[in-house]
Amino acid sequence: MALSSTQTDHLRRVDAIGDPPARPTLVPAERYHSPAFAQLEVERMWPRVWQVACTVDHVAEPGDYFEYRCGPYSVLIVHGDDGVLRAFQNACRHRGNALCTGAGSSLRELKCGYHGWTWDLAGALKRIPNRKGFGTVHMSEFPLAPVQVDTWERLVFVNLDTSAMPLADYLEAVPTDIAWCGLGDFRCYATMTIAVDANWKTIADGYSETYHVQTLHPELHRCMDDVYAPQMIWGHTGKSESLYGVPSPRLSGALSDEEVWDAYVYTQGPLMGVAEGTPFPRDQQGAGQSVADVIAAQIKQFAAGRGVDIDWATTDQVMRLHQYNVFPNMTFLASADHLTVMTSLPGPDPDRGELVMTLMTRMPAQAPRTRPADVHMSAADAHPGVVMSQDIAVLTGLQRGMHQPGFTHLVLSSEERRIINMHRNLERYLDLPEAERISEAAAGG
């Protein structure tokens, strides 16, 4: 059920903490570095959850394909010559060789490069070289193993569990909550995969709370309200809202419009096409207008320059960032002219993972297709902006700290309840015994 404007306004005056608990929540630290726990995730969780694999822009035309990897799993997403999007486990039914790697186009069939077994784009086996050597074999016995695939707006999701709940049910209230934004108008222009020395959960946690903003992102703190940042939990999903273009209420003393503008330009300048050091355009500020109104107007002007009209959006819709978490590893940030999707993936061991940033921009409907650029790099070589670089830089120290013998549990507040929710979902999929589940800290003596 949609909230009324009065209810929405009230919600936005709720702080990020909400109702504080009696005691902190304790999460066992070994979940972030234990090989046994990581193996449980591989066996019981990753094959059973919906995961965003790529975008519609990666597989927009017949013959397009994209390989999605998560730990040991490889899923091949194929746009069939009949126009249907399908996904398969990326393994030849003969000896298991991967059929395709990476992404590409103009695919006409799926042929194993090892022994030549060949399937059509619908996954039906159509050719076995030297077939008589196998005795009696029916082609219909060995189709490619199917994987559930579905789309929401421009995002393509997969689930290895063919009996899993539909994607629409898994996403819960998220599509309705963000429907006003028109996410289908965004197009992916690039993905950036960054290898980091941290567990996938360590990466994901950084995009599941605003508690760190006041310390890790001092520049952002000067142009973002991290106090009145209400949160919602639905089940597999949750969200947070943060208003930009205003200073944090935590700051002592008022900031001038120029100071808020400078902080926004420094941290978010590319979103409005303004170079660092550009002075506040005082002459463009009308009577009664806030600095947020001026920034929103600049963002609308920047959008118009690429043929996009967002004059329908209010200042609040332009400046309020809606951050959604979808279990287990997806966070996306959206406002009227911004969409970034972030996922975290397990690496070759529990102390390594990948951060995948899917970068999107709103485009006019008639814009020609542009194939996304997919780039891979190390954390040392990645420079995805001031704030994201700060988020990445802290990960190695976080992961190292998890191993220290005196650090047995994460101690989480209600402001970090989206992290807590992730762990509760994880426990459910892993079917952990009660003694291994998260708990409330015992009262001190």
Per-residue pLDDT averaged across 259-273, rounded? 92
Write the CA distances from 371 to 9, 21, 66, 104, integer angstroms: 40, 48, 12, 10
259 occurs within a structural domain: no
**Given 168, 200, 219, which residue is the final one in a domain?**
168
Q: Is the pLDDT confidence value at 301 over 70?
A: yes
Q: pLDDT band at residue 254, thresholds of 50, 70 and 90?
A: confident
Query: Who's near 179: CB < 8 A, 6+ residues apart?
Result: none
CA atoms within a 13 Å half-sphere pointing along the CA-CB vector of 398: 22
The pLDDT assigned to 9 comes to: 53
Q: pLDDT band at residue 10, thresholds of 50, 70 and 90?
A: very low
258 occurs within a structural domain: no
309 occurs within a structural domain: no
Query: Who's near 162: CB < 8 A, 6+ residues apart?
Result: 146, 147, 148
Give the pTM.
Answer: 0.93
**Does residue 90 sit in the same domain as residue 206?**
no
Helix (H, G, I), strand (E, B) or coil at 343: strand
62: which DSSP letter?
Answer: T
**Does residue 363 sit in the same domain as residue 406?**
yes
27 occurs within a structural domain: yes
Residue 207, both tokens = 């995009």
The pLDDT assigned to 442 comes to: 72
**Given 135, 168, 201, which residue is the final one in a domain?**
168
**Does residue 157 sit in the same domain as residue 67?**
yes
Q: pLDDT band at residue 445, thresholds of 50, 70 and 90?
A: very low
**Does residue 84 sit in the same domain as residue 232?**
no
Helix (H) or strand (E) holding 156: strand 155-159
273 occurs within a structural domain: no
**Does residue 151 sit in the same domain as residue 220?**
no
Query: Who's near 144: CB < 8 A, 6+ residues apart?
Result: 76, 88, 89, 93, 99, 110, 119, 123, 125
The pLDDT assigned to 351 comes to: 98
The percentage of the chain sitting over the pLDDT mark of 90, rounded to a whole number, equals 82
Q: Give the tens place of pLDDT for each residue, 70-108.
A: 999 999 999 999 999 999 999 999 999 999 999 999 999
Per-residue pLDDT averaged across 117-145, rounded? 94
**Does residue 154 sit in the same domain as residue 9?**
no
The pLDDT assigned to 99 comes to: 96
The pLDDT assigned to 202 comes to: 97
Q: Give the tens place of pLDDT for each residue, 306-365.
A: 999 999 999 999 999 999 999 999 999 999 999 999 999 999 999 999 999 999 999 998
**Does residue 155 sit in the same domain as residue 142?**
yes
263 occurs within a structural domain: no
**Does residue 353 sit in the same domain as residue 230?**
yes
CATH of the domain at 156: 2.102.10.10
177 occurs within a structural domain: no
**Does residue 212 sit in the same domain as residue 141?**
no
The pLDDT assigned to 443 comes to: 67
Q: How many domains does the chain have?
A: 2
The percentage of the chain sitting over the pLDDT mark of 70, rounded to a whole number, equals 96
The pLDDT assigned to 3 comes to: 43
79 occurs within a structural domain: yes
**Given 136, 168, 200, which residue is the final one in a domain?**
168
131-140, 143-152, 242-251 — which one is most confidently predicted on average? 143-152
Q: Is the pLDDT confidence value at 13 over 90?
A: no
Q: Read off the amino acid at residue 437.
A: R
Which is nearest to 438 in space by CA: 362, 354, 3, 428?
428
Per-residue pLDDT averaged across 135-156, rounded? 96
CATH of the domain at 24: 3.90.380.10
**Does residue 344 sit in the same domain as residue 202?**
yes
**Does residue 201 sit in the same domain as residue 60?**
no
Supply the range of the domain harboring residue 219: 5-49+188-245+314-440
**Does residue 164 sit in the same domain as residue 192?**
no
